[in-house]
Structure 1
Amino acid sequence: MTVNIAVCGKFHFANYVKYVSAQGYLQKFYYAHKRATDATLGLPAEQIFNFPFKEYLVQGHGRLFGTVGTGPAHILYGAVWSRAVLSAWRPADLWHVMAHGHETAVVRRAGRDGARVLAEAVNTHPDNQREILHREAERWGVKGVSLHRSTRDARLIDEIASADRVLVPSATVARSFVERGIDAERVVKLPYAANLSRFFPAEHPIPNGDERRPLKIVCVGTIGLRKGQFHLLEACRRLGPDVVDLTLVGTVDTAVAARLGSYAGQFRHLQRVPNVEMRTLLLEHDLFVLPSLEEGLAVSICEALACGLPVVATRESGAEEMVVDGETGFLVEAGSADALAALLGRLARERETLPVIGAAAAAVTRRWLNWETYAAQLCDVYAQMGG
């Protein structure tokens, strides 16, 4: 059985394609990233098709226009990538594609070939996303969030509908598609993992120290409505700088930049931290917090857990897949600054429990939350689809 993997980007696939190849399934990995990434995949050159021009278009757009016009522009850039894939087409028994509105031509061509298609949804159903974001935009006074399906949304839904199976990272994502008409029998759940060679606990953990100092909190992710940072900022404002010290890592969605300004001086902002430096940053903090309102499963949660850093996250972030509340982390109600403030205030008072929680999280991560195990389970899915 031959499998081609296609993603208009890189995403998490680069972490595990070498393991899929080692099990004898991978024929070709079609993706788009900077040329130097090829050497990091652990694959022979004949298995790689990289079209970096698409990535340079996206980066150039971001530098020139920020997030303005990204919807239509990314559809165009995705179409350029799809055309390149079709020009270098190699038939396979199964195509594993990232369903994000850029793979429609690939899915249709695979169907014409009689191949099986596994479409991976990294986030909840687009209709669910829009409803949540529209509600949040009204709450925080952010303009420009529409309830209407975009062209990309419609294409993503078509990719999912055309696939034989739908791969999802969490129960939250599965529910969102089943509630909107996708047969539950077609949905396969496989939670994401972490790169354990890069993310691991400190050899000599630094004690939390004086409980009178602020609790150091870090949140990683694009700063906008979806990941819930405004609820976190509001919770930290209520607690005050003597209780919590917040670091936000990620680019700022231009739609929320003005609203974010009202919290100026209440947090430290890092625009970008390279992945190779992320562990160092995480270990400088007491707690990782991700209050997402809509997510698939944030890999940043997996990475924090792997470092032995206690995690506070919502079920909507996908954290319910690996966090046992009160044992390996903490689950908090989405969209509630009150709930966040109450939990963070308690943890600031009881910080001696955090190393115990973090150690339990790291132990669980070492047993199963790694990309090699993920790839083995994915190959089982391939085998079932080919049977």
Structure 2
Amino acid sequence: MNMKVTQLAIGRFHHFHLARQLERLGLLEKIYTGFPKFKLRDEQGIPKDKVKTFPWIHTPYMKRGLIGIDYWKWLSEEWEWLDMQVIDKYVAGKINHPTILIALSGNGLHAGKKAKDHNGYFICDRGSSHIRFQDQILREEFSRWGHTFRGIDSRVIEKEEIEYEQSDLITVPSQFVKKTFLDQGIPEEKLAKIPYGARLERFYKVAEPSTKKFKVLWVGSVGIRKGFMYALQAFQNLKHPNKEFVVIGTVEPEMRQLLAGQNLDKVSFLGLVPNAQLPRIYSTAHVFVIPSLEEGLAMVQGEALACGCPVIASVNSGAEDLFEDGKEGFILPIRNPAMITNRLEQFADDPELRQKMSVAAIERVKSIGGWDSYGNGFQETLLSLIQGY
């Protein structure tokens, strides 16, 4: 394949994993990001001259919470829109020859058009559900908990849907996400499902859970979208003499209000922890819970499985593309704390079941092959696109 890939992702997300894979396969031309270079020092495996940063709008936007600007919702919305537009147009100005542009959805309308104008291709990479499904389910969920979701900026929805139409291909990470696109009328032939991998060199089993305590683990944003209240309710209803719920991640503002007055006995909020500590935390947990309302394919699931920690996940987390229900964990419908409690009780009451699933989890993730399988899948997709089959 002669044509190389230009990547555009305003943040990091999974795109630097993809860039490493494309470099391994000899396909990477450049990756553009809104992150500053000093924040990318831990991104190994990509030549420095292929990483192009445009941090002038995105970096201060990400720091807006430190000065309280995030409470001015209208300003955050305008800033986010400007952020996405400027980097898109900036990269469009850099494209002057045939290339395959892989752009994170919402970031690539102008750059994608420019790539196609130069006889290249435009791939819109969507890491979450279809933007209209995402907007609808978040409106519903916030309302269920007595909060108002401002909704996704209508300009962002419009831009993304034009990208869906304009792109040669839309890549998605899970069957759940693919279904939301099909339900919105996107033709199946325009969709390519390529599940994410896990960093096996970083995440692996290093310890055993305690036999004296039953530890439930949460890693990720503590918010309404992730379904944290369902996990908390399930834990509260779990009858166990020595249980613990370890919560790692930033607590979102709406969740702070919902947690006021809740029974948080035996719940430990640790905030953010260094990545180097996560393998031990995953390894010593009996079960990992993630009942998200919508995701692409939550990568923390792969991290937990790689450390031998079985997972209880919602179907909307993309779990079906990572493990099998009843083998390495359990996959449940959304908004069902009673079912989560039931599965927690199974793990607590049957250590042999948990151990069996722990072994199966490690074998499953190893069989997937880490991020190499993701890179190989993308290479096959690129070849199919260029060769027209």
Q: Which of 182, 185, 188 matches 1:184?
A: 188
Q: Take 1:195 and 1:148, find their aligned partners in 2: how far apart are those partners?
A: 31
Q: Return closer, same or farther for 1:21/1:157 CA change in 2, 3 Å cut-off.
A: same
Counterpart position of 2:11: 9
Partner of 1:327: 327
Mapping 1:356-375, distance limit 5 Å: 356-375=356-375
Superposition deviation, residue 365 in structure 1: 0.8
- Note the alpha carbon deviations across 1:110-145, whole angstroms, 9 max, x for none: 233232111111111122122222222222112x21
CA distance, structure 2, for counterparts of residue 66 and residue 295 of structure 1:
27
CA–CA distance in structure 1, aligned partners of residues 92 and 227 of structure 2: 38
SS at match of 2:222: coil
Check whether the contact 1:216–1:246 (CA below 8 A) recurs between aligned residues.
Answer: yes
Which digits, 9 at most, give the CA deviation of each residue in 1:233-272, with x for residues without a partner? 1111222573531122222222332112232634211221
Aligned counterpart, 1:74: 80
Q: Which residue of 1 aligns with 2:218?
A: 219
1:132 aligns with 2:137: yes
Counterpart-to-counterpart distance in 2, 1:302 and 1:207: 18
Could you tell me which amino acid in structure 2 is paired with residue 50 of structure 1?
A: T
In structure 1, give the amino acid aligned to 2:275. Answer: N
Q: Report the TM-score, using the length of structure 2 for normalisation.
A: 0.91
Q: Tell me the matched-pair count.
A: 380
- Contact between 2:323 and 2:364, CA under 8 Å: does it hold in 1? no
CA distance in 1, matches of 2:215, 2:382: 43
State the partner residue of 1:271: 271
- Could you tell me which residue of structure 1 aligns to residue 231 of structure 2? 232
Instruction: Give the aligned partner of residue 99 of structure 2.
Output: 93
Instruction: State the shift of 1:230 in Å.
Output: 0.5
Q: Which of 51, 54, 57 is residue 51 of structure 1 equivalent to?
A: 54
- Residue 64 (structure 1) aligns with: 67
Percent identical residues = 26
What code does the residue aligned with 2:331 have?
Answer: L
**1:167 to partner: Cα distance:** 0.4
Q: How does 1:322-361 map to 2 (within 5 A)?
A: 322-361=322-361
Structure 1 residue matching 2:63: 3-state secondary structure: helix
CA-to-aligned-CA distance 1:158-189 (integer Å, 9 cap, x gap): 22221111100001100101111111111010
Aligned 8 A contact 2:221 2:251 in 1: yes
Asked whether the equivalents of residues 124 and 170 of structure 2 are also in contact (C-alpha less than 8 Å), the reply is yes
**Moved runs in structure 1, 4+ residues, more than 4 A?**
146-149
Distance 1:81 1:265 in 2: 43
**8 Å contact from structure 2 (residues 222, 250) kept in 1:** yes
For residues 105 and 56 of structure 1, the distance between their equivalents in structure 2, rounded to whole angstroms, comes to 21
Pairing of 1:84-163 with structure 2 (within 5 A): 84-99=90-105, 101-142=106-147, 144-146=148-150, 150-163=154-167
How far the C-alpha of 1:51 sits from its partner, in A, is 1.9
Q: Does the Cα contact within 8 Å between 1:170 and 1:297 map onto a contact in 2?
A: yes
> Structure 2 vs 1, CA of residues 138 and 67 (structure 1 numbering), >3 Å: closer, same or farther?
same
Contact persistence 2:209–2:285 (CA under 8 A): no
Are the structure 2 counterparts of residues 157 and 242 from structure 1 closer, same or farther at C-alpha, using a change threshold of 3 Å? Answer: farther
Q: Secondary structure at the match of 2:7?
A: strand
Letter in 2 for 1:262: G
Indicate if the aligned counterparts of 1:208 and 1:352 stay in contact, CA closer than 8 A: no
CA 1:209/1:385 → structure 2, altered by over 3 Å: closer, same or farther? same
Contact 1:27 1:92 in 2 (8 A): no
Aligned mates of 2:248, 2:161 — CA distance in 1: 31
1:147 is displaced (CA, Å) by 5.8
1-structure distance, mates of 2:29, 2:286: 43
- Spell out the pairing of 1:243-262 with structure 2 (5 A cutoff): 244-262=243-261
- Which residue identity is paired with 1:314? S
Instruction: Name the CA distance, whole Å, in 1 between partners of 2:219 and 2:116.
Output: 38
Alpha-carbon separation, structure 2, partners of 1:367 and 1:323: 11
Paired residues of 1:236 and 1:341 also in contact (CA < 8 A): yes
RMSD of Structure 2 on Structure 1 (CA) = 2.1
For 1:108, give the aligned amino acid. K
**CA distance 1:39–1:138, change in 2 (3 Å):** closer
Distance 1:59 1:364, change over 3 A: same
Q: Distance in 2 between matches of 1:384 and 1:38?
A: 34
How far does the alpha carbon of each residue in 1:299-354 deviate from its partner, in whole angstroms, 9 at most, with x for none? Answer: 00011111111111111101111221121111122101111112112221113321
TM-score (norm 1): 0.92
Instruction: Please state how far the C-alpha of 1:67 moved relative to its aligned partner.
Output: 4.5
Instruction: Give the gaps of 5 or more residues in structure 2.
Output: none
Alignment deviations for residues 4-33 of structure 1 (CA, whole Å, 9 cap, x no partner): 111111111212423312322111111222
